[in-house]
Amino acid sequence: MYRARYRRDLDELNATMVELMQSVSIAIEQSVRALQERDVELARAVIQGDQAVDDMNTRLENKCMELLALQQPMAKDLRMIVGILKIGIDLERASDLAVDVARVAVQSKAVLPPAMTEDLKRMADIAQQMLKDVMRSLSEGNADIAREATKWDYEMDRLYVKARDNLIKTAAENSDQANDLIPLMMANRHLERIGDHICNICEHIIYMIEGKREHLN
């Protein structure tokens, strides 16, 4: 009875973490779409939705601390709970960055250049794919899936540099637009950092599954 309840608590913890990942994935997609389409209402919805992500992460943290204090888990269970705590932090930061992109959509007057529109969409797609791989790695208990997911970050970095350089060139050629382009540069940087946080999550998952600490970012 006692152990059955403990296993249920661990399963619920894992389910909450997956739900948090799904919420962050949606926020990333919607924030970039709001920026592309200049959809202020969608951007505001992303900003308002961040509170739900924060609340979910708080529940996650509280449950982790409760299990650590009351159950004194060992070995793999301990790695799982500590890993979930760390993953929650990175997910919350990724959500905050998606909110920052949404704020650019609300505040910026600049129109996205067509090439950058494609690049930002691609970056958002990659971030979502990485999170899907993360969830599959967890469900299958396969750390190699998480390792493979980190390789997408190279493409994220390439797209970030490409978009940044194009924006700098545009600003240099159109000095009257320079101030309006700065928020777009920030949005580009926010997306690149989201990729970094997902790489951190992959490292946490490898530790949870195999007990190995690897630095893949």
The pLDDT value recorded for residue 2 is: 64
Whether the per-residue pLDDT at 111 is higher than 90: the answer is no
> What's the whole-number mean pLDDT along residues 100-109?
92
Structure tokens at 129: 């794919």
Evaluate whether 56 touches 16 at the Cβ level (below 8 Å): yes
Handedness of CA 42, 43, 47, 48 (dihedral sign): negative
What's the mean per-residue pLDDT of the chain?
A: 92
pTM surpassing 0.85? Answer: yes
Structure tokens at 148: 């493979």
Whether the per-residue pLDDT at 86 is higher than 60: the answer is yes
Evaluate whether 46 touches 34 at the Cβ level (below 8 Å): yes
Q: Report residue 42's pLDDT band, with 50, 70 and 90 as the boundaries.
A: very high
> What's the whole-number mean pLDDT along residues 174-191?
90
Q: Report residue 216's pLDDT band, with 50, 70 and 90 as the boundaries.
A: confident
The pLDDT value recorded for residue 5 is: 83
Evaluate whether 70 touches 51 at the Cβ level (below 8 Å): no
* Structure-model confidence comparison of residues 198 and 5, the more confident one: 198
Whether the per-residue pLDDT at 60 is higher than 90: the answer is yes
Whether the per-residue pLDDT at 1 is higher than 60: the answer is no
The percentage of the chain sitting over the pLDDT mark of 70, rounded to a whole number, equals 99
Domains of the chain (ranges; CATH) run 2-210 (1.20.58.220)
Structure tokens at 38: 């200049």
Evaluate whether 114 touches 23 at the Cβ level (below 8 Å): no
Longest Cα–Cα distance in the chain: 70
The DSSP secondary structure of 72-95, one letter per residue, reads: ---HHHHHHHHHHHHHHHHHHHHH
Q: What is the pLDDT of residues 10-21, one digit of tens each?
A: 889 999 999 999
Whether the per-residue pLDDT at 162 is higher than 60: the answer is yes
The pLDDT value recorded for residue 181 is: 87
Any idea which residue has 């619920």 for tokens? 12
Evaluate whether 184 touches 110 at the Cβ level (below 8 Å): yes
- Residue 16 CB contacts under 8 Å (≥ 6 apart), including other chains: 56, 59, 60, 63
